[in-house]
Amino acid sequence: MTKAIRGSCLCGEIRFEIDGEVGPAGQCHCSKCRKVSGTDGNAVFYAPAAAFRWLAGEDLIHRFVVPDGGGWASHFCRQCGSPVPLNGNDGTLFFVPAGLLDDDPGFRGYAAHIFVGSKAPWVCIADSAPKYEAGFGSVRVDRG
């Protein structure tokens, strides 16, 4: 049996747990992910919704929908502002910000970089993970 992986927001009031294996981490470099993370991108991984469980603080989650953003939304802790996991559109997956983890998920490095075509000009992607101009399935690029 796999050990549960736990995570929390900055203030610790929102806590969650994932049972079983999680997907690999990816780094999104789009402008929205840069804004929501305050850094060069947003490192996330996927967890099956059936394996995801809120332990505390679900009532502290606030949702901001970007006006004219095509439904793009940010979920964050109302108390500390930390981004928090959000349920995917079809309800089968959670998108989990990797920086929230309190335990080791087992993956090392990124599986891919997406929206490299809109990354910040000061970012140099130095690892060997695949890079995509836009989302998965778009043109693969070598530049970083």
Mean pLDDT within 67-88: 90
The number of domains in the chain is 1
Residue matched to tokens 């995917």: 88
For the whole model, what pTM was predicted? 0.87
CB atoms within 10 A of CB 13: 16
Q: Which tokens hold the place of 46? A: 């996927």
Backbone angles phi, psi at 60, to 5 degrees: -90, -5
Q: Which tokens hold the place of 123? A: 């970012």
> How far is it, in rounded angstroms, from Cα 134 to Cα 141?
10
Number of H helices and number of E strands within the chain? 1, 12
Q: Which domain holds residue 45?
A: 5-141
Q: Residue 128 CA to chain centroid, in angstroms?
A: 20
The 42-48 sheet, strands edge to edge: 86-87, 93-97, 42-48, 25-28, 112-114, 131-132, 140-141
| Residue 143: per-residue pLDDT | 63
- Tell me, what CATH number does 73's domain have? 2.170.150.70
> pLDDT, tens digit, for every residue of 7-63?
999 999 999 999 988 888 999 999 888 988 888 989 999 999 999 999 999 999 999
